[in-house]
Structure 1
């Protein structure tokens, strides 16, 4: 059983962050063999605490000041395997504690013993993994000094893990924007001997500009794709009211700094009306408004914007003679687990998502999806990976008519589920190859890596096998019928190794 420290844990109110943690744990459970054999991520084995020990270090302690437990879904899934430690840094709004912690970090980095971080969880870990997502950015700060302090605070676990000589993995990240070019350079240099796996091409391009060059920076995927979803009946009544199945589509909404909520609600109204008026062509009877994220901060809580837009839709449609349309829009309530949301989105006819991980959950399920982007490169980058680069617009000025037209084409594309499955399998296979290669490398700059050798599972996350074209199958059949002496060229060709790279 390996001891894995996972830094930058956030909160299970944010279902995307929760899914990233779950996917990363499931990924490492399959990739790294346990001492008594490979871990079981199918359900029963995990409940018995088989697999690796996971110690989560939250981003800051504001996650504990919430009504709901910050890692309730994670704990329920993995039971006693998971423990939660104290965060390394307090929130920036607690200025005195934050500055004191920064001074303590500087003292550890300058005067601390080499090979020790001063944090018991990091020092005891076989591996330090920085939870993926869009953590490292500070472009929205107004003051340069504040942006520097925030960046150093974000990087504190990475700095201490490197000080302790640990293998550090950043899996499935999006970076930027940064306040200044100097901050971007400082950030990339801090990752110099870490494994850096970007989840989309825009971030990957940034890592390739690093000077000096990052030796272990490659393109992978968002770690939520590695989540092994479990069966859930949390939304059984939503999917089939009164026990009768009723086809539906899903829309997820979020607030954002500076978003004109009234204008946004009016555009969603036009979109919703158009979708429901086209319901026969789209194969739906209802439109579900799903608050995908419940917090923990106010700006993250989708319940408010979802309720505001839902109320606007009910009033606007009813006063415009659309009472029938108003009854076909429903607001979904509750505190669903990531497994429950994957299940809900899997059975939708399509999804329009402002929430990035609602888009990912739909892609995981092969559900046609349209994205509304609100921050940075993550949504455009991921959508391009699936050949959906044209199926994304900005949250503040999207064109409802274009969305409806594009969705009609997406719903009609019956090949999309198989394509999505193939893309995900390929990206997970590449991410697994990258990670295995990094973990097998020699000790890093401090010469204290690898206090414990990790046994890796080479069979985990195989690349998908492409089906043979009809012509190739016919040639193979002819070769099989030919005399043995005529098969030498074919045999030599078939024996050539297949090399897979990032």
Structure 2
């Protein structure tokens, strides 16, 4: 059984980050099991491992700061296979501890092991994987010194893993913006012997312009696409009130630094009214406002902006003679798992997503989707991959009329679900081939893969003959729905997930 250290773990309140972890675990399980099962490597009769050991290192101890336990959905899914270590770096707001930790990192780099749990986990791992997403950026910092400190803090696990001679994978990332060109160069040079898989073209172009160009930098996809969704009935009452199916669309909202909430609510009001007035053409009866992310920080809590916009919609529609429209808008509440959200979005007629991973969950389900972009290249880049480059607008100045017109076309395009499935399968196959090739070819120490120790190099793993487009999709294996409802074993010290409240039933608030 391989020991995999996954760094930069974030709280399960963020359903997208949770899905990225799940997708990466499912992806690596299948990839490693496939390698282990090869007769030319493992020999006949070697049984596949029942998944691989995962040690998660949180990005900082901020993830423990909410009343709901971090990694609770991860633990339900993977049970005793997952442990959570102490973070390598404290949050930057704790300046003294942060600087002290940076000095400790310098000592580690110069003199070797210092005995901290995060360092030990990296040292003991067969493979270090940096959780994907939009982690590496510091362009919003006002002071250059603070931006340098943040960048080094983000890179600390990567630098420690390289010092320990580990193979390091960065799967499904978006980078930038950086405060200065020098910081961008430093960042890219730090990744020079890692596998860097970008999830969209804009980030990939940055890696190709690096000086020197990164030798293992290729274009793949967001790792949430690799999550094998499990059956869920968490939203049964939402999808079919009183047991009667009622077609719906979904809109996900988020706050953002500097966002004019009142102006945003007014634009969403115009959009919602237009969508519901076009409901016969769009095939819907209701519009669900879904808080996709619940924290862990205030700016990350979609419940607040969703409640604010919902209240505004109820008042505005009712006072303008739109009482019937007001009753058709509902606010969905609760703590759904990523599996439950995928299930909810799959049955929607379409989704307007501000939250980036609500867009990805819809694409996974073949649901027509329109994106409101709020940070960096991730939404425009991913949508472009699916031929939806025109179905993106900025969160702060979107045109509701244009969205409604585009959605009518998207809903009418009956070929879209099959196209989305094809694009995802191809991108996952390419990502699998990239990762497999890197693990076969990269120099480094031997790792324990399955029941024998194997050297991951050309001699042990000959290059594959099949092309990227012929590889099987990584997320095609059936999932055990019962396992998703099983709580994990007792949590280690510092992780309160085992004592956290179970997922609450979703609650729908209508007018």
TM-score grouping bracket, smaller chain normalisation: 0.7 to 0.9
- The CA deviation at 1:447 is 13
- The CA deviation at 1:110 is 1.8
- The CA deviation at 1:391 is 0.1
Q: Is the 8 A contact 2:331 2:509 kept in 1?
A: no
SS for the counterpart of 1:288 is strand
CA separation in 2, counterparts of 1:478 and 1:96? 37
Going from structure 1 to structure 2, the CA distance change for 1:464 and 1:426 (only over 3 Å counts) comes to farther
Q: Residues 263-286 of structure 1, C-alpha deviation per residue, up to 9 Å, x if partnerless?
A: 000000000000000000000000
CA separation in 2, counterparts of 1:16 and 1:297? 15
- For residue 15 of structure 1, what is the aligned residue in structure 2? 15
Q: Is the 8 A contact 2:86 2:118 kept in 1?
A: no
CA separation in 1, counterparts of 2:99 and 2:497? 72
Q: Which has the higher contact order (CA 8 A, sep 6+)?
A: 2
Going from structure 1 to structure 2, the CA distance change for 1:462 and 1:326 (only over 3 Å counts) comes to farther
- The CA deviation at 1:50 is 2.3
Q: Is the 8 A contact 1:46 1:77 kept in 2?
A: no
Q: Is the 8 A contact 1:235 1:340 kept in 2?
A: yes
- The CA deviation at 1:445 is 11
Q: Is the 8 A contact 1:47 1:79 kept in 2?
A: no
SS for the counterpart of 2:129 is strand
Going from structure 1 to structure 2, the CA distance change for 1:6 and 1:500 (only over 3 Å counts) comes to farther
- For residue 287 of structure 1, what is the aligned residue in structure 2? 287
CA separation in 2, counterparts of 1:480 and 1:72? 11
- The CA deviation at 1:490 is 65
After superposition, where does 1:183-202 map in structure 2 within 5 Å? 183-202=183-202
CA separation in 2, counterparts of 1:72 and 1:492? 9
CA separation in 2, counterparts of 1:124 and 1:471? 30
- The CA deviation at 1:26 is 0.3
Q: Is the 8 A contact 2:440 2:463 kept in 1?
A: no
SS for the counterpart of 1:372 is strand
Q: Is the 8 A contact 1:29 1:38 kept in 2?
A: no
Going from structure 1 to structure 2, the CA distance change for 1:155 and 1:45 (only over 3 Å counts) comes to farther
Going from structure 1 to structure 2, the CA distance change for 1:472 and 1:347 (only over 3 Å counts) comes to closer
- The CA deviation at 1:33 is 1.7
Going from structure 1 to structure 2, the CA distance change for 1:493 and 1:75 (only over 3 Å counts) comes to closer
- The CA deviation at 1:487 is 68
- The CA deviation at 1:111 is 2.3
Going from structure 1 to structure 2, the CA distance change for 1:69 and 1:96 (only over 3 Å counts) comes to same
Q: Is the 8 A contact 2:256 2:374 kept in 1?
A: yes
Q: Is the 8 A contact 1:39 1:50 kept in 2?
A: no
- For residue 241 of structure 2, what is the aligned residue in structure 1? 241
- The CA deviation at 1:403 is 0.1
Q: Is the 8 A contact 1:199 1:219 kept in 2?
A: yes
CA separation in 1, counterparts of 2:84 and 2:495? 64
Q: Residues 304-338 of structure 1, C-alpha deviation per residue, up to 9 Å, x if partnerless?
A: 00000000000000000000000000000000000
CA separation in 2, counterparts of 1:313 and 1:262? 11
In the superposition, the TM-score normalised over structure 1's length comes to 0.87
In the superposition, the TM-score normalised over structure 2's length comes to 0.85
Which stretch of the first structure deviates more once superposed, 453-462 or 339-348? 453-462
- The CA deviation at 1:112 is 2.0
Q: Residues 2-57 of structure 1, C-alpha deviation per residue, up to 9 Å, x if partnerless?
A: 00000000000000000000000000010002898699999999999921000000
- For residue 44 of structure 2, what is the aligned residue in structure 1? 44
Q: Is the 8 A contact 1:285 1:328 kept in 2?
A: yes
Is 1:419 paired with 2:419? yes
Q: Residues 191-211 of structure 1, C-alpha deviation per residue, up to 9 Å, x if partnerless?
A: 000000000000000000111
- The CA deviation at 1:65 is 1.7
Which stretch of the first structure deviates more once superposed, 43-52 or 196-205? 43-52
- For residue 499 of structure 1, what is the aligned residue in structure 2? 508
- The CA deviation at 1:121 is 0.5
CA separation in 2, counterparts of 1:479 and 1:260? 42
Is 1:81 paired with 2:81? yes
Q: Residues 224-251 of structure 1, C-alpha deviation per residue, up to 9 Å, x if partnerless?
A: 0000000000000000000000000000
CA separation in 1, counterparts of 2:501 and 2:23? 40
- The CA deviation at 1:443 is 1.1
Q: Is the 8 A contact 2:168 2:194 kept in 1?
A: yes
CA separation in 1, counterparts of 2:149 and 2:321? 55
Q: Residues 324-359 of structure 1, C-alpha deviation per residue, up to 9 Å, x if partnerless?
A: 000000000000000000000000000000000000
- The CA deviation at 1:216 is 0.1
Going from structure 1 to structure 2, the CA distance change for 1:479 and 1:339 (only over 3 Å counts) comes to closer
Which stretch of the first structure deviates more once superposed, 482-491 or 336-345? 482-491
Q: Is the 8 A contact 2:446 2:456 kept in 1?
A: no
CA separation in 1, counterparts of 2:194 and 2:138? 21
- Runs of 4+ aligned residues of structure 1 deviating over 3 Å after TM superposition are 34-49, 113-118, 444-467, 469-502
Q: Is the 8 A contact 2:76 2:486 kept in 1?
A: no
